Structure 1
Amino acid sequence: MDNLFTDVSYKSLDELIYGFAKKPVHLKNGMVIGGGTVYPEINFTLPPMLISQETMPKVKAQYEEMLHGICSKAHELNVPGLLVELELLPPCTFNPEWGIEITKVVKDIMLEYDSKFGLKSALRLTPVDIREGKQLTHMYHGDHWDNLMATFQGGAEVGADFLAIESVGGKSLHDEAVMNCDLPKALFSLGVVGTHDMTVLWDNIIKIAKKTDTIASGDTACGFANTSMVMAGKNFIPKVFAAIDRVMCAVRTLVAVERGAIGPDKDCGYEGVYLKAITGTPISMEGKSSACAHSSTVGNIAAALADCWSNESVANIRLLGGMAPTVSLENLVYDCRLMNVATTRGKALDLRDMLAESDRQFDPQAYVLDPAVVLKLSRKIVNGKSHFEQTKIAASATLEELREAHKAGALQLAEREVRYLDIFEEQLNSIPDSETELQQVIVKNTTKDKFDPAKYDL
């Protein structure tokens, strides 16, 4: 059963701003996400190295080095609070005991700096969604599922504050849709397969969160809309497809909150701005600060509604300024300081609008992150009576908005991009009103290695 949001949480654009959420998240240490302060959220990963039972001492030593550098710099720069995201690598989710060990190492160092220096922090645990590959027997049972759930459970028991994931339900189908600029297939992968998978997955994550007294934070369409973003950045697909895909992904990401997640949503889900507008939950975002991980055209505008500001991820390599995770944290801290000072001086709306204005005209992917556009499209999306219908509305409303913005001179689009708007409009008009009918068409024209309905109980 869909627990759909039927209205937006913000009635006025002036309320929709960085640092403030209608439903702030209160932590036991006094930090409040979405309560007026933007916090840095640091993300990091190992340098190229083998992860095995034999190398685990070296792996843990890498995490110890990263955390000491991060926490020491955070203390030195007087941060009011710090979020640490631990995105586990595949071997550490396929082998839950390794991921749990690393989680404990990271949390123990965070607690050490809290005890010694009063550094407030919270740990977001993000096991990698390993439910992919030829060895997968089913999305909701078998070794892949069991190891994923065991990693969540064990990580929560040793100190994770937030549980999150970049889920992959429908990704193989979506990847094919992106390569072929197939909007109906993308819509089906997100609005039917993805939302179904999110429902099952997040019901189980919520159970673990309740059992372990942790916070179910949120999901992200990183494997979906970010794939489109990267492909568009290389000119492999139209930018307008990536923009439409981003807004469609919002419906899928919303499901985590529909099932009980309370935020903050994950940083690499740029569609989080729609989640915030509709649900009122706080979000983490990334932009220019994530250039260490990937390029984008949304460097400033992504910060306009952020409650936490992240760097995406960076490997533990040495730069002239120090180890990369520590350097990334310093960049985040100064961005957050500026946003927070603007708030205290009553200039937050001005800064929000400048962040948006500096990016939105140059790329449709930036344009759909503009707070005014977000609120306008969100009001249309919530009129849908099902996830399928909401996703379809997201696509059509975004297409219409991009066309109008270009005609008004508010959005620069190459002639090639404008022509694609007509193509995608034709594709949208071909989609049946029944998701069952659409599924029959998709299954008929898709190989089982891309989508096997039986593995999803569909």
Structure 2
Amino acid sequence: MAKTTFDAVSYQDLSEFVYGYAKKPVAFKNGMVIGGGTVYPELNVTLPPMTINESTMKRVLAQYQDMISGACAKAVELSAPGIIVEIELLPPHTFHPQWGIDVAKVVKETMREYEGQGLKSLLRLTPVDIREGKDLVHMYHGEHWDKVMETFRGSGEAGADLLAIESVGGKNLHDDAVMNCDLPKALFALGVVGAKDMEILWTNIVKIAQETDSVPSGDTACGFANTAMVLAGKNFIPRVFAAVDRVMAAVRTMVAVECGAVGPDKDCGYEGVFIKAITGTPISMEGRTSACAHSSEVGNIVGALCDCWSNESVEHQRMLGGMAPTVYMEQLIYDCRLFNTFTDQGKAFDYRDVMVASDSNLDPHAYILDPAVVLDISKQIVQGKTAFERTKIAAAATIEKLKEGIQSGKLMVSDREVKYLDILAQQLSTVPDDEAKFTAEMIKNNTTEKFDPQKYDM
């Protein structure tokens, strides 16, 4: 499949840019249409702390069956118009592909039991990207690669409706960049190494999806920009760095769509708003209901453009109201009722704007997720011809937008944050326009045991 190039945004103004509606909705055989006007709850669940090995797999599968059964029963009780369940497989489930495939089978079988009660549902299956560690032979062949691909194929054959991943190409570089607030290195990790990795990875995922009658949904910068966001939230790094990093990450995440992914992208990819703006694909987002997994400063604003509403990930633990997955399914359903009722009453844009206003002036990360800001920056990003050019444009445009927000009084930040924007601008000015020259410099200065360019065929 030829790679698609997006040289214009899909939305021209704010009058059509809202939650629940995508220019390129995704329709499924059961009648669910994501991006067609209805926001669906997407429940993400995981196991409680327990050992995963061959001797415990029976108990592991029972845990998944129990949590999905409880969540589906609650969805039936609350008359949900449809639900999505995401299973982010744990490392042992991908290192041992059959274990992950068995999880997919059990979850899908449980969901099918509730179809008879009128519950429409979809399963998103997300293998772990295990292409890390000292024993990694190569990013695109060898044991690690083969096991990821085997897990994808087996999950699709087991009935997974959506295939996704949180890919890690370039993550070691990016981790160093975040800890040192090194913008050029972050740009190299995302716009060069990460983008190259995404193209190879997603070309293969799309092929597997086509062959297993599943949908290639999307990726996320969870291991990249989310790391920066969480560290910034704890004041370990400047918040403006995390905001700039988020928009740069959008270029990398968009490569999945360029290679054939159709959405909805992953919930933990807050950069999804830029993906939606440029490509028109629907997106899944997580906000206040993801507090069970991590804190953030964007709990409401991320709902402004969502097409699916998620909780990130919740363990199968008992709470006063019941088992946690069941409790979170209830919360997600009620949130989605609000989204959809505002739409039914012709007030979707009012609700969108209230969610934006509640967060946008309090944190740089929230500010750059404002739909108006997203559209403006997206129009600049698509002017680049390569992922490298677009990532560099994304950084420059975001720095400028943050400065404008601060100067206009629309964004409140500390003096330290203001000063750091100038530092970031200065760092960016050192990046040459010549990608080959930049790549050679970065490889020369950053080849370590953690980052071996030969493993990327670089």
Structure-1-length-normalised TM-score: 0.99
* Offset at residue 447 of structure 1 (A): 3.8
Query: Offset of 1:11 from its aligned partner?
Result: 1.2
Whole-Å separation in 2 of the counterparts to 1:364 and 1:119? 40
CA distance in 2, matches of 1:2, 1:418: 39
Q: Secondary structure at the match of 1:119?
A: coil
Residue equivalent to 1:266: 266
Q: How big is the shift at 1:228?
A: 0.1
Give the 3-state SS of the residue equivalent to 2:46 in structure 1. coil
Unaligned runs of 5+ in 2: none
Counterpart for residue 435 of structure 1: 435
Amino acid of the residue matched to residue 141 of structure 1? H
SS at match of 1:37: coil
Kept in 1, the 8 Å contact 2:3–2:260? The answer is no
Distance in 2, matches of 1:143 and 1:330, equals 40
- The question of 1:24 aligning with 2:25 is answered yes
Take 2:450 and 2:404, find their aligned partners in 1: how far apart are those partners? 35
Cα distance in 2 for partners of 1:35, 1:381 equals 26
The answer to whether 1:300 aligns with 2:304 is no
| C-alpha separation in 2, matches of 1:2 and 1:27 | 24
RMSD of equivalent CA atoms = 0.8
Q: Secondary structure at the match of 1:24?
A: strand
Report how far residue 444 of structure 1 moved: 2.1
1:103-125 per-residue CA deviation (whole Å, 9 max, x = no partner) reads: 0000000001002x010000001
Residues 230-379 of structure 1 mapped to structure 2, 5 A cutoff: 230-379=230-379
Post-superposition shift, 1:372? 0.4
Is 1:202 the counterpart of 2:202 in the alignment? yes
Rounded Cα–Cα distance in structure 1 between residues aligned with 2:377 and 2:339: 26
Aligned equivalents of 1:3 and 1:449: distance in 2? 34
**How far, CA to CA, are the matches of 2:13 and 2:175 in structure 1?**
37
Are the aligned partners of 2:447 and 2:453 in contact in 1 as well (CA < 8 Å)? no
Is 437-446 or 243-252 further displaced after alignment? Answer: 437-446
* Counterpart amino acid of residue 98 in structure 2: E
Indicate the SS of the match to 2:305: coil
Partner residue in 2 for 1:8:
9
Give the 3-state SS of the residue equivalent to 1:361 in structure 2: coil
Partner of 2:419: 419
Q: In structure 2, what is the Cα distance between the partners aligned to 1:457 and 1:75?
A: 50
Give me the whole-angstrom Cα distance separating, in 2, the residues matched to 1:12 and 1:243. 23
Distance in 1 (CA, whole Å) between partners of 2:3 and 2:444 is 26
Output the CA distance in 1 between the equivalents of 2:118 and 2:109: 14
> 1: CA distance between counterparts of 2:102 and 2:4?
36
1:132 is the counterpart of 2:166 = no
- Look up the SS of the partner of 1:83 in the other structure: strand
Question: Aligned-pair distance for 1:3?
Answer: 3.5
CA distance in 2, matches of 1:416, 1:432: 27
| Aligned partners of 1:137 and 1:455 also within 8 Å | yes
Q: For each residue in 1:413-435, what CA deviation from the matched residue of structure 2 results, as whole angstroms up to 9, or x when unmatched?
A: 10000000010010000001112
- Structure 1 counterpart of 2:409: 409
Q: Residue type of the partner of 2:80?
A: V
1:332-390: CA deviations, max 9, x gaps?
11110001000000000000000001000000000000000000000000000111000
For 1:325 and 1:302, how far apart are their aligned partners in 2? 21
CA deviations over 1:161-216 (Å, ceiling 9, x no partner):
00000000000000000000000000000000000000000000011011111100
**1:2 positional shift:** 6.0
TM-fit CA distance, 1:449: 2.1
Instruction: Read off the aligned partner of 2:21 and give its amino acid letter.
Output: F
Partner residue of 2:105? Answer: 104
Quick check: 444-453 or 125-134, which moved more?
A: 444-453
Q: Tell me how far apart the structure 1 counterparts of residues 16 and 8 of structure 2 sit (CA, whole Å).
A: 15
TM-score calculated relative to the size of structure 2: 0.99
CA distance in 1 between counterparts of 2:331 and 2:68 reads 16
| Aligned 1:18-97 pairs, distance under 5 A | 18-97=19-98
Matched with 1:184 is 184
Alignment check: 8 A CA contact 1:2 1:386 kept? no
Aligned residue pair count: 457
Question: Runs ≥4 in structure 1, deviation > 3 angstroms?
Answer: none
Instruction: Give 1:392's aligned residue.
Output: 392
* 2:126–2:163 Cα contact (<8 Å) kept: yes
Distance in 1, matches of 2:60 and 2:404, equals 52
Using the alignment, how far apart are the partners of 1:12 and 1:412 within structure 2? 26
Per-residue CA deviation, residues 393-422 of structure 1 (Å, 9 max, x unaligned), is 000000000001100000001000000001
How has the CA–CA distance of structure 1 residues 214 and 2 changed in structure 2, closer, same or farther, with 3 Å as cutoff? closer
